């Protein structure tokens, strides 16, 4: 095995393209090292991307924030600007693993794993985050909801990798929230999860919304019907009931040891309802 630490995105692309799939990106390493040590993968080359310019930075851009691919969960959680602008994304990212894992894990790694239960992904999708992909033909952008195509599968092509995620600007009277269900109080994988992003109109009704649900299908999904259910409302009971129904209808979970399909379907609706209420309260406080 080879360990490489390229200094530019072009070098990374070049190494990836030449290695014919035998190279793996090392960011925080909290999944890569586990996979290597368990014998799941035996990469010929490890490409440590932490030496690229800006890859460990959180930078302001067009009123939003660009989160570098090597920004750890803990670092994101310490960033006052990120917490103020996208509290749901930050709280989702902070749920990944223990303090030790938080010191290394990244939102981009969480996304690139392509897991349907990845905590930061519903929040990113609800936030309309945009994924910056670097490759042999230069950079391109991809909406977060289109990035994962199936369990463990992404849109990344030959020689491509993710260098950052962009969290867009938002009006003042807006906020977001993320909730997951786990059978313990800490350090577990979501059995069901929901991210909700809400923007309020001047009269306090919901002007626009995005709802994404996780662990209830082969990938995290955006549920436009759930957003439509609450747009124009103040989350009165009928709107909430329609939101819950839309989330349940969009779910296609599996039965496994962590939860039955029936349980997951019920819980995801409850989580979406509660996350919507939290996002609504936060948005109201910002108004």
Partner 1 sequence: MKNIHVSTVLNGDETEFVCAPEETLLDALRGRLGMTGAKEGCGTGDCGACTVEMDGRLVCSCLVLGAEAEGAEIKTVEGMAVGEGLHPLQQAFIDHAALQCGICTPGILVAAKTLLERNPDPTDTEVRYWLAGNLCRCTGYDKIIKAVQIAAADMRGA
Contact residues for partner 1 (CB under 8 A)?
Answer: 1-3, 5, 26, 29-30, 33-34, 36-38, 46, 48, 50, 72, 74-75, 97-104, 186-187
Smallest distance, partner 1 to C-beta of residue 67, A: 17
Smallest distance, partner 1 to C-beta of residue 99, A: 5
CA dihedral 184, 145, 23, 164 (to 10 degrees): -90
Q: For 201-244, list the strands marked E by DSSP.
A: 206-214, 221-222
Nearer to partner 1, 71 or 130 (CB): 71
Residue 135 CB burial class (10 angstroms; 0-12, 13-18, ≥19): buried
Smallest distance, partner 1 to C-beta of residue 46, A: 7
Helices (H) and strands (E) in the chain — how many of each? 12, 14
Smallest distance, partner 1 to C-beta of residue 161, A: 18
Nearer to partner 1, 187 or 249 (CB): 187
Nearer to partner 1, 79 or 104 (CB): 104
Read off the DSSP letter of residue 204. Answer: S
Smallest distance, partner 1 to C-beta of residue 151, A: 20
Nearer to partner 1, 95 or 206 (CB): 95
Smallest distance, partner 1 to C-beta of residue 128, A: 30
Q: Which of 167, 162, 272, 279 is nearest to 212 (CA)?
A: 272
CA distance 135 to 29: 21
Q: Which of 214, 219, 220 is nearest to 272 (CA)?
A: 214
Nearer to partner 1, 49 or 250 (CB): 49
CB 180 within 8 A of CB 216: no
CA distance 104 to 123: 20
Which residues share a beta bridge with 46? 3, 24
Nearer to partner 1, 95 or 230 (CB): 95
CA distance 68 to 235: 35
Smallest distance, partner 1 to C-beta of residue 1, A: 5
Nearer to partner 1, 37 or 257 (CB): 37
Nearer to partner 1, 166 or 178 (CB): 178
Smallest distance, partner 1 to C-beta of residue 76, A: 12
**Residue 188, Ramachandran bin (φ over 0: left; ψ between -120 and 50: alpha; else beta):** beta
- Identify the sign of the CA torsion 126, 279, 208, 262: positive
């Amino acid at each position: 095995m080879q360990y490489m630490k390229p200094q530019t995105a072009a070098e990374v692309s070049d190494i990836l393209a030449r290695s014919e799939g035998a190279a793996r990106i090392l960011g925080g390493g909290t999944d890569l090292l586990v996979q290597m040590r368990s014998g799941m993968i035996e990469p010929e080359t490890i490409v440590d991307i932490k030496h690229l310019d800006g890859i460990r930075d959180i930078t302001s851009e067009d009123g939003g924030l660009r989160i570098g691919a090597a920004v750890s969960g803990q670092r994101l959680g310490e960033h006052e600007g990120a917490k103020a602008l996208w509290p749901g994304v930050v709280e989702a990212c902070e749920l990944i693993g223990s303090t030790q894992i938080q010191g290394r894990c990244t939102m981009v790694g969480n996304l690139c794993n392509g897991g349907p239960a990845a905590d930061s992904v519903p929040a990113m999708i609800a936030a309309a985050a945009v994924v910056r992909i670097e490759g042999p033909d230069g950079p391109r952008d991809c909406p977060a909801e289109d990035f994962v195509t199936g369990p463990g599968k992404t849109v990344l092509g030959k020689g491509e990798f993710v260098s950052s995620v962009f969290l867009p600007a938002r009006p003042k009277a807006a906020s977001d929230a993320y909730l997951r269900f786990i059978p313990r109080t800490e350090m577990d994988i979501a059995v069901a999860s929901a991210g909700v992003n809400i923007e309020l109109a001047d009269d306090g009704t919901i002007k626009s919304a995005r709802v994404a649900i996780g662990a209830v299908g082969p990938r995290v999904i955006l549920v436009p019907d759930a957003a439509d259910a609450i747009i124009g409302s103040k989350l009165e009971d009928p709107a909430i009931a329609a939101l819950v129904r839309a989330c349940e209808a969009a779910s296609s979970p599996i039965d496994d040891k962590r939860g039955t399909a029936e349980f997951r379907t019920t819980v995801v609706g409850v989580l979406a309802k509660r996350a919507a209420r939290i996002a609504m309260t936060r948005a109201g406080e910002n108004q």
